[in-house]
């Protein structure tokens, strides 16, 4: 298993732990766990409170069927570089669940899709008058 999967599995079973506790439990270094937690937080898979205790966005055994279906659809659209369509599906996934962790993940993923779509969208050409060269 990779570090991210180990962290998510551990947090699903033991939520509310600090990075040092997680590192000890999964057998990785503190810096590796800290870097992985930053990435997992950016994607909305984990979140942390004011005391730097981390929690999994989805607890073990809990599952929203509609949310899971929509998030799979959104990820499939992202894989095909259909960023704006994926952002729309993430919005639907957000509206389909009442769980705060999953709603936050949908918000983060939607924002990332919109940002990625905007960066790849064609930019309009500037409307400068043609420069004419005068030949004498």
Cα–Cα distance measured from residue 33 to residue 28, given in angstroms and rounded to the nearest whole number: 7
- pLDDT classification of 110: cutoffs 50, 70, 90: very high
Closest CA to 55 of 18, 80, 84, 23: 18
**pLDDT digits over 113-131, tens only?**
999 999 887 777 777 666 5
Please list the residues that pair with 46 across neighbouring strands: 56
- pLDDT classification of 1: cutoffs 50, 70, 90: low
**pLDDT digits over 28-85, tens only?**
999 999 999 998 888 888 888 889 999 888 765 556 778 878 888 988 898 899 999 9
**Residue 115: partners with Cβ closer than 8 Å, 6 or more residues away:** none
CB 98 within 8 A of CB 66: no
According to the model, what pLDDT value does residue 106 have?
86
Please list the residues that pair with 50 across neighbouring strands: none
Rounded to the nearest 5°, which phi and psi values hold at 17? -110, 155
**Residue 117: partners with Cβ closer than 8 Å, 6 or more residues away:** 83, 84, 87
Average pLDDT, the chain: 84
């Amino acid at each position: 298993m990779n570090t991210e999967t180990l962290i998510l599995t551990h947090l699903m079973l033991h939520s509310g732990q600090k990075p040092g506790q997680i590192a000890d439990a999964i057998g990785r270094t503190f810096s590796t766990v800290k870097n992985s937690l930053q990435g997992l937080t950016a994607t909305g898979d984990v979140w942390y409170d004011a005391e730097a205790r981390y929690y999994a966005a989805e607890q073990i055994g809990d599952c929203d069927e509609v949310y899971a279906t929509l998030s799979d659809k959104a990820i499939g659209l992202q894989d095909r570089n259909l960023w704006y369509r994926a952002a729309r599906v993430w919005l639907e996934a957000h509206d389909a669940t009442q769980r705060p962790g999953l709603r936050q993940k949908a918000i983060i993923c939607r924002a990332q899709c919109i940002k990625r779509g905007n960066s790849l969208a064609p930019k309009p050409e500037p409307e400068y008058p043609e420069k004419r060269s005068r030949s004498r």
